[in-house]
A and B are shown apart, each in its own frame.
Chain A
């Protein structure tokens, strides 16, 4: 079975540019999570969705960040305008929320560098 698929794997861009990260969750999973990981701050939850609806976006750092989930098989995380401090690894994860004992499954991540 295909796991969580993220694209691109790597992104290098100049500050001020718009960045769009993409995620395809595991088929049938009804929860989708976006995380950011840095050495300094560890793994931070940015936002999560249930059945395509954003449930908690309290981790989104500021208005420059936005996330959407137009359907059950696709989500985007957008940064506009990007800044060097946004450089991090961004992970997408999905889970089956019907049963609370189900774990999350992570994608390979997008390594983002803002110059």
Chain B
């Protein structure tokens, strides 16, 4: 079983839509969690950390459910510029496990 699993998508949504991605992880002792964004032919970039109480950064909301071992990312009012691959990342004692990514296409 993979450490981190994500739906690869693609998610095709119109501008202005709300879209949500989930990610599951296998190690219940995992310590920290992140969402990264990767544009085509670019490096992964940190989008946001995920905190136990949930956290929001503008149009982006991240949530963690330790009991069910999943992490979610909600994007409200999607923009064309949100089109990218979103990577779920789990940290176990400073070893980072990356999901395979969920591709988002926002269309006009």
Instruction: Spell out A's residues near B (CB within 8 Å).
Output: 31, 33, 42-43, 45, 48, 50, 56, 89, 91, 93, 95, 97, 100-109
Chain A: minimal CB distance from B39 (Å): 12
Asked if A101 contacts B98 (CB within 8 A), the reply is no
Could you say which of A43, A103, A108, A109 contacts B34, with CB atoms under 8 Å apart? A103
Asked if A101 contacts B31 (CB within 8 A), the reply is yes
Task: Name which residue of chain B comes closest to A6, CB basis.
Answer: B43
A100-B93 CB under 8 A given contacts A105-B46, A106-B44, A106-B45: yes
Contacts of A101 in B (CB 8 A): 31-32, 49, 91
Task: Name which residue of chain B comes closest to A105, CB basis.
Answer: B46
CA distance in complex: A93, B36 (Å): 13
Asked if A42 contacts B101 (CB within 8 A), the reply is yes
Interface Cβ pair total, 8 Å cutoff: 50
Asked if B96 contacts A56 (CB within 8 A), the reply is no
Could you say which of B42, B46, B94 contacts A97, with CB atoms under 8 Å apart? B94
CA distance in complex: A42, B89 (Å): 13
Given contacts A45-B95, A104-B46, A109-B42, 15 further A-B contacts (CB under 8 A): A31-B94, A43-B44, A43-B87, A45-B96, A89-B41, A91-B43, A95-B96, A100-B31, A100-B91, A100-B94, A101-B91, A103-B32, A103-B34, A103-B89, A106-B44
Could you say which of A43, A45, A100 contacts B32, with CB atoms under 8 Å apart? A100
Could you say which of B31, B46, B93, B95 contacts A103, with CB atoms under 8 Å apart? B46
- Tell me the chain B residues, 56-108 only, with Cβ under 8 Å from chain A: 87, 89, 91, 93-96, 98, 100-101
Q: List 22 A-B contacts (CB under 8 A).
A: A31-B94, A42-B100, A42-B101, A43-B87, A43-B98, A45-B95, A48-B95, A89-B41, A91-B44, A93-B96, A95-B94, A97-B94, A100-B31, A100-B32, A101-B91, A103-B34, A106-B44, A106-B45, A107-B43, A108-B42, A108-B43, A109-B42
